A and B are shown apart, each in its own frame.
Chain A
Amino acid sequence: MTEDNIIEITNLVKRFDKVTAVNDISFSVKRGEIFAFLGPNGAGKTTTIKMLTTLLEPTEGKISLNKHDVLTNQSATRSSFGIVFQDPSLDEELTAYENMEFHGVLYDVPKNIRKNRIEELLRFVELWDRKDDYVKTFSGGMKRRLEIARGLLHHPKVFFLDEPTLGLDPQTRNHIWQYIEHLNETEDITVFFTTHYMEEVEHVADRVAIIDHGKIIMQGTVDEIKKKNNAPTLEAAFLHLTGKEMREESAEGMSLMHRRWRKR
């Protein structure tokens, strides 16, 4: 494996009974880059992120993250990344500060560092003056910002963001990308994100991989992808590659997953 690849995915497969959600994909992410992982609904994005973050066991294949084997060395892998999930994952009955504190203790961040780091991050996402308010009183954008701050608390090497700007107004989206780009520069953190907003990708992403029907159909820089598809924008290239038909979130795959889980 190459020294400067922080994520290496080799022949990764995930099957749910008869549905193949991820079908033999291989790609890598370089240390320090902002990497966009794109695809229509149900293409296999979230399933891939779940496998990368130890939440789901692959059917076949290998993943290494920050030089740790994700399958055999879960604990070291888990310490190496931070994540903002697609849906909120905060404890709404706790305050912003308590959510941070909980995370810090769980990730074993030493007490004196923890205190400063929490303040630094809450100030960074402009929530310091709301630190003692219950999360249930927060707006969607505030929750997302808090999750970003929380995910960074333990100095992760890789930061996963699964549709971090979904459902947010342009102002908040703009802010969130400013935070992320700032982090990428100052903390030398690798960013791996998914989104449906192609203009965001054009602005921030160093490299892009596009997945559809469980296969990586193209990867490269935004310019390379535009050039190869002879498209003026990334959105045009994306539509050219994945077709113009609408997709439903793979409901079948989801319910299969649930049934499978119940059987355990």
Chain B
Amino acid sequence: MKAIYILWLRQIKRYSRTRSRIIGSLAQPLLFLVALGFGFGPIYQKAGQGNYIEFIAPGVIAMSILFTAIFSGIEIIWDRQFGFLKETLVAPVSRVSIMVGRTLGGATIAFIQGTIVLTLSFLVGFRIENLYLLPVAFVFMFLIALLFAGLGAMIGSLLDDMQGFQLIMNFLVMPIFFLSGAIFPLQGLPKILNIITMFDPMTYGVDALRGTLVHMSHLSLLLDFGVLAVISLAFLSLGTYFFSKIQA
């Protein structure tokens, strides 16, 4: 338990000390909100779909969680390059607690980042439908964070340098984001695209956020929760397995 705590604390400390990183990583979601929100807003309205900001804000919140969580997981590669990983590898702590500590740390950071973006979205006119559902939305935000922090840590355990990073970015993270319904509605999509989106865990996260923040989900919250929880657990287990295979 203590080991999990100190690993978590380390991530939080590192995060809170890199102000430039926090601000930098807020620029992108803000740009999405402003450019897409106001850019596509009029067309979206003409198509009879209502307020696009309302539609896209949950997607952008989920996006910022996705990016932050994956990166914090991938930080294992940095630890490997800067040697710090060895310090944890020779410690008398189970590999599971190392993985859990790291993943919780990354998830917490991503959750905070998501909360900041949620707050920023109010500035561009986003409004929450039902305040009572906000705690439920927070639960889902944390679940999304957990899932992708787990995925990031798993990838971080498999790569041994930053060479593969661009590959991961373009072939994994971007598709996860774009094929999740974060920026367009999933109704009426071509069949094949529809099937692909159903295999994207992010779809369930975005849906749950839309459901809890603006009543616009089209899957059930229970299904969303189930899928996110099961996949988080799977990533965490796989991540722990790959992590335990690391030989320095």
Partner-B contacts on A (CB < 8 A): 50, 53-57, 74-76, 78-79, 81, 83, 85, 87-94, 98, 101-103, 105-108, 257-258, 261-262, 264
Contacts and interface: CB of A to CB of B under 8 A. Distances in A.
B222 interface: no
Interface stretch (B25-33, B82-90, B147-155): B82-90
A107 B94 CA distance: 11
9 contacts: A74-B92, A91-B84, A102-B6, A106-B3, A106-B88, A106-B91, A108-B3, A261-B247, A264-B242
B246 A89 contact: no
Interface in B155-196: 158, 160
A105 B247 contact: no
A54 B10 contact: no
Contacts of A107: 91-92
A85 B85 CA distance: 11
A89 B83 CA distance: 4
B13 A94 contact: yes
B93 interface: yes
Contact of B17 (A79, A90, A93, A101): A93
Interface in B89-113: 89-94
Contact of B248 (A50, A76, A81, A105): A50
A85 B86 contact: yes
A105 to B, nearest CB: 4
A78 B160 contact: no
Contacts of B17: 93
B245 A55 contact: no
B84 A55 contact: no
Contact of A89 (B86, B158, B247): B86
Nearest to A55: B248
A55 B10 contact: no
Contact of A108 (B2, B88, B160, B245): B2
Contacts of A102: 6, 10
Which residue of B10, B88, B93 has the most chain A CB atoms within 10 A of its CB atom? B10
B5 interface: yes
A261 B10 contact: no
Nearest to B17: A93
Contacts of B92: 74-76, 78-79, 106-108
A112 to B, nearest CB: 14
Interface residue tally of chain B, by bracket?
20 to 34
B14 interface: yes
B245 to A, nearest CB: 5
B160 A91 contact: no
Nearest to A150: B87
B84 A78 contact: no
Nearest to A53: B90
Which residue of B18, B87, B94, B246 has the most chain A CB atoms within 10 A of its CB atom? B87
A105 B83 contact: no
A92 B82 contact: yes
Nearest to A154: B92
Closest 4 pairs between A and B when the two form their complex, measured CB to CB: A78-B92, A89-B83, A105-B6, A55-B248
Contacts of B247: 50, 55-57, 257, 261
A44 B91 CA distance: 23
Given A83-B90, A93-B14, A261-B246, A105 B160 contact: no
Contacts of B83: 85, 87-90
Nearest to A111: B2
Nearest to B246: A261
Contact of A105 (B3, B13, B84, B90): B3
Contacts of B94: 75
A200 B16 CA distance: 43
Which residue of B10, B13, B92 has the most chain A CB atoms within 10 A of its CB atom? B92
Contacts of A258: 160
Interface string B1-22: 0110110001001100110000
A258 B18 CA distance: 32
A258 B10 CA distance: 28
B245 A105 contact: no
Nearest to B85: A89
Contact of A106 (B6, B82, B246): B6
